[in-house]
Amino acid sequence: MIDNNELTAYLSRGIKNIITHAIRGSLKNPREAAFLLGYQKHSTKAGKLRSGFEDEGRHIPAFLISSITQTCNLHCKGCYARSNGICCDEKGSEILSSAKWSNIFKQAEGLGIGFNLLAGGEPLMRRDVIDEAAKQKKTIFPIFTNGTMIDEEYIEVFDTHRNLIPVISIEGDEQATDERRGNGIYRVLSEKMDKIAKRHILFGASITVTAKNINQVTDSSFIEDLKKKGCKLIFFIEYIPVSEGTQNLVLSDIDRNMLEQKVNLLKKVYKSILFLSFPGDEEKMGGCLAAGRGFIHINPYGGVEACPFSPYGDCSLKNSTLIDVIKSPFFEKLRMNLLSGEHNGGCALFNQQEKVEELLQI
């Protein structure tokens, strides 16, 4: 495993490459290009901040995953958030306020964390938190959304605040998407993408890759359709079997090798689209990035966890600062004991759940 100094440098270079790639894809869009050029300067300063902390012996992850709400308007099959208890149908009374989230966003910026992935539940159900994120111009917030709540008001928000990037979940073609997300969802998402594209707003797609849909979602015809819609960012996320009876959907080693090969080919063919693959890309970074190596997860109640797929932690932002929770003893144990080996594919912590629970008790 590469050490923290190497990882910090690697992630900083990776972020720089992401922004450079996004700028190249936005040259015909002056507003988008202007924002990204400005953000590039912030990103360089953020990288230096993290390097400075590293020199002091404090490793700062490059990004956060913030689940800002536990409610969702859909009931998708195999949803990790519902299986882990993050997501439900009723709003909890103890969730973090928009003011608290604003404070967390500001703390992150002060530590040099320039990417904060907003998730849920359905994050667009927390317009109050989205508005607070919009104010943090030195941070990019990819918003992982099911897309159904994107209306004219939200499109106006995305157009005005270019640091908010909608990333819409889709499972493949109409049949595959509707099978997992509900009848008619694919057509709704298609219409939403068209409206976003008309305003020349940078947006992406998040695709859960399974043994069932891997051929379809990596086929050039499917990617071509997304390109025509205006999609400039594609996340391939391997399915994690959080629901019983879905082990057959998990990628095999052969599938993972094929996914890597196809993604590498797609990168060469579709240079205007940025492709990211998780956890596949983690292999280049010396292993799993959870537990503060590359990110931490904040749940809707302020609890700080190793990863959305491994929702275990020993501290909360309700009574601690971000810098304090990053130094969590539990996360240190995870990094030393479970994340120090070679990356063998799949989700490292999910595949070692019993060991994770044992370390939490020590």
* Amino acid at the residue 80: Y
Q: Please list the residues that pair with 48 across neighbouring strands.
A: none
- How far apart are the C-alpha atoms of 272 and 230, rounded to whole Å? 10
CB 308 within 8 A of CB 81: yes
Instruction: Check residue 20 and give its pLDDT.
Output: 79
Q: Which two tokens stand for residue 211?
A: 């043994």
Nearest C-alpha neighbor of 124 from the set 215, 192, 63 = 192
Angle at 238 between CA 272 and CA 2, to 5 degrees: 80
Q: Answer yes or no: are the C-beta atoms of 269 and 260 closer than 8 Å.
A: no
144 membership: H or E segment, kind and range: strand 141-145
Helices (H) and strands (E) in the chain, counts: 14, 10
Structural domain boundaries in the chain: 4-361
CA of 98: how far to CAs of 107, 114, 133, in Å?
14, 19, 9
CA angle 323, 325, 331 (to 5 degrees): 120
Q: Once rounded to an integer, what is the mean pLDDT over residues 334-357? A: 76
Q: Which residue has the higher pLDDT, 6 or 256?
A: 256
CA neighbours closer than 13 Å in the CB half-sphere of residue 302? 20
Between 273 and 340, the more confident residue is 273
Distance CA 38, CA 268 (A): 27
- Residue 267 or 340, more confident: 267
Q: What is the pLDDT of residue 2?
A: 61
Contacts for 183 with CB less than 8 Å, ≥ 6 apart:
none
Q: What percent of the chain has pLDDT over 90?
A: 61
- Say if strands 204-209 and 315-316 run parallel, antiparallel, or are unpaired: unpaired
- Quote the crossing angle between the two packed helices 4-24 and 30-55, to the nearest 10°: 170
CA distance between the termini of the chain = 24
pLDDT tens, position by position, 264-320:
999 999 988 888 888 766 766 667 889 999 999 999 999 999 998 889 999 999 989
The domain over range 4-361 is classified in CATH as 3.20.20.70: yes
CA separation for the pair 113, 141 (Å, rounded): 11
* DSSP H or E segment with residue 32: helix 30-55
> In terms of C-beta density within 10 A (0-12 exposed, 13-18 middle, 19 or more buried), how is residue 327 classed?
middle
| Parallel, antiparallel or unpaired: strands 233-238 and 164-169 | unpaired
Pairing between β-strand 141-145 and β-strand 204-209 as defined by DSSP bridges: unpaired
pLDDT confidence band for 156 (50 / 70 / 90)? very high
Identify the pLDDT of residue 91. 65
pLDDT at residue 79 is higher than 90: no
- Provide mean pLDDT across the span 236-242: 87
Q: Which of 35-44, 323-332, 353-362 has the highest mean pLDDT?
A: 323-332
Among 101, 65, 107, residue whose Cα is nearest residue 84: 65
In this structure, are residues 304 and 319 in contact, taking their beta carbons and an 8 Å threshold? Answer: no
